[in-house]
């Protein structure tokens, strides 16, 4: 029986698409991975067709990698909307997808490595980008085809990624609050290790600097995960003598946490505190008052991620691409001029 691309992939511990891209000497594959794949090809006597590899040679399966989490990631509608977009595009192209989860990065990596070793997947979509990410580092080191939803933290020019302009979105949202009359504007978000939150915070800083205002460290509350929101830091921020009159929040879920605390403290939204958040999720519409929020179009992020993944599976010599999905500010009921205006 003739040796197939899947046989080579399984023996080399890579995906079939990595073998195909190695045959085409793709610059996205590391030298070490190319050498390993070529050794296996020689050992097995595999003779590639350098013109084209039939799509049937692949599993037509895409792995969707969620952030490692005990619980909160599965409750975030943002990820569900991205998966809906991925699924819709995969259905159109007759690909299937499988969701990869884990309580920590080690568990996620074990699953990925098992799938790669058994040639069960042709490419991956990583639904997040963070600094010093072992999952992204493994995918990059092994030359595995992957698309990141979010700006690549490393090797951006060699990485396929789909993102919003989060810095611009943060700047525009803060501009909106400034133009409404707010001068004491705070930021509440997840850790700066998450690239999207770091860029939204930077956009907030840039907006304020345009007007000669510095975002003070004490006006920033940052947490490691959505379910780790510590009320004490927020309470200190909101009850300080020079407390903010508006807060830019990195996620609708955190905005709901902020709204609940305001209720406990007797603060009215928006009369005492204006809030702008991100994602335009279900949470932003079912709260009272409804949240003004930045719609980052997660469904379109998912569609574009699936499109790029499949295009690179079927055309291994394509260069890395970067796509920016537009955002828009959705005005609702959580903002008004500050009390002194």
Q: Is residue 3 part of a domain?
A: no
Is residue 179 located within the same domain as residue 157? no
Q: pLDDT digit string (tens) for 96-116? A: 999 999 989 999 999 999 888
Is residue 197 located within the same domain as residue 272? yes
Q: pLDDT value at position 225?
A: 65
265, with CB counted inside 10 A (0-12, 13-18, 19+), is: middle
Q: What angle do CA 61, 73, 13 make, to 5 degrees?
A: 35
Is residue 174 located within the same domain as residue 278? yes
Question: How many other C-beta atoms are found inside a 10 Å radius of the C-beta of residue 103?
Answer: 11
Q: Tokens in use for 224?
A: 């490691």
Q: pLDDT value at position 49?
A: 66
- The domain spanning residue 127 has which CATH number? 3.40.50.2300
Instruction: Give how far Cα 172 sits from Cα of 179, 275, 276, Å.
Output: 10, 14, 11
Fill in the DSSP letter of residue 194: B
Is residue 170 located within the same domain as residue 290? yes
Is residue 174 located within the same domain as residue 279? yes
Give CA–CA dist 139/220, Å, rounded: 33
Confidence of residue 77 (pLDDT cuts 50, 70, 90): confident
Is residue 117 located within the same domain as residue 228? no
Is residue 172 located within the same domain as residue 260? yes
Confidence of residue 29 (pLDDT cuts 50, 70, 90): confident
Could you tell me what percent of the chain has a pLDDT over 90?
63
Q: Is residue 177 part of a domain?
A: yes
Range 139-143, long-range pairs (CB < 8 A, 24+ positions): 139/112, 140/30, 141/30, 141/33, 142/13, 142/14, 142/18, 142/30, 142/33, 142/116, 143/14, 143/18, 143/21, 143/22, 143/28, 143/29, 143/30, 143/33, 143/34
Confidence of residue 151 (pLDDT cuts 50, 70, 90): very high
Confidence of residue 16 (pLDDT cuts 50, 70, 90): confident
Is residue 179 located within the same domain as residue 289? yes
* Domain range enclosing 313: 59-164+299-327
Q: Is the model's pLDDT at 232 over the cut of 70?
A: yes
Give CA–CA dist 56/76, Å, rounded: 35
Q: Tokens in use for 129?
A: 């980008």
Number of domains forming the structure of the chain:
2
Q: pLDDT digit string (tens) for 184-226? A: 999 999 988 899 999 999 999 999 999 999 999 999 999 876 5
Question: How many other C-beta atoms are found inside a 10 Å radius of the C-beta of residue 48?
Answer: 16
């Amino acid at each position: 029986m003739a040796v197939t691309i899947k046989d080579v992939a399984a023996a080399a511990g890579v995906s079939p698409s990595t073998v195909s891209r190695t045959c085409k000497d793709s610059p996205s594959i590391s030298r070490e991975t190319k050498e390993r794949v070529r050794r296996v090809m020689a050992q097995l006597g595999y003779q590639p067709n350098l013109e084209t590899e039939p799509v049937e040679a692949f599993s037509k399966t895409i792995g969707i990698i969620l952030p490692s989490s005990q619980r909160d990631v599965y409750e975030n509608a943002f990820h569900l909307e991205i998966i809906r977009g991925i699924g819709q595009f995969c259905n159109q192209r007759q690909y299937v997808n499988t969701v990869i989860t884990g309580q920590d990065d080690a568990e996620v990596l074990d699953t990925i490595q098992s799938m790669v070793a058994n040639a069960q997947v042709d490419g991956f979509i990583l639904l997040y980008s963070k600094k010093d990410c072992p999952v992204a580092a493994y995918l990059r080191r092994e030359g595995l085809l992957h698309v990141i939803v979010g700006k690549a933290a490393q090797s951006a020019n060699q990485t396929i990624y789909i993102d919003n302009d989060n810095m611009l979105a943060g700047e525009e949202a803060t501009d909106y609050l400034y133009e409404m009359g707010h001068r004491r504007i705070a930021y509440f978000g997840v850790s700066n290790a998450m690239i999207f939150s770091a860029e939204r915070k930077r956009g907030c800083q840039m907006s304020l600097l345009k007007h000669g205002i510095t975002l003070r460290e004490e006006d920033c509350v940052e947490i490691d995960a959505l379910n780790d929101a510590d009320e004490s830091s927020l309470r200190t921020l909101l009850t300080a003598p020079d407390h903010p009159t508006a807060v830019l929040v990195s996620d609708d879920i955190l905005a709901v946490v902020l709204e609940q605390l305001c209720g406990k403290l007797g603060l009215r939204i928006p009369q005492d505190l204006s809030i702008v958040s991100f994602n335009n999720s279900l949470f932003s519409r079912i709260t009272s008052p409804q949240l003004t929020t930045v719609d980052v179009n997660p469904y379109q992020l998912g569609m574009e991620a699936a499109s790029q993944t499949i295009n690179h599976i079927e055309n291994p010599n394509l260069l890395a691409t970067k796509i920016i999905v537009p955002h828009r500010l959705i005005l609702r009921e959580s903002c008004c001029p500050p009390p002194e205006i």
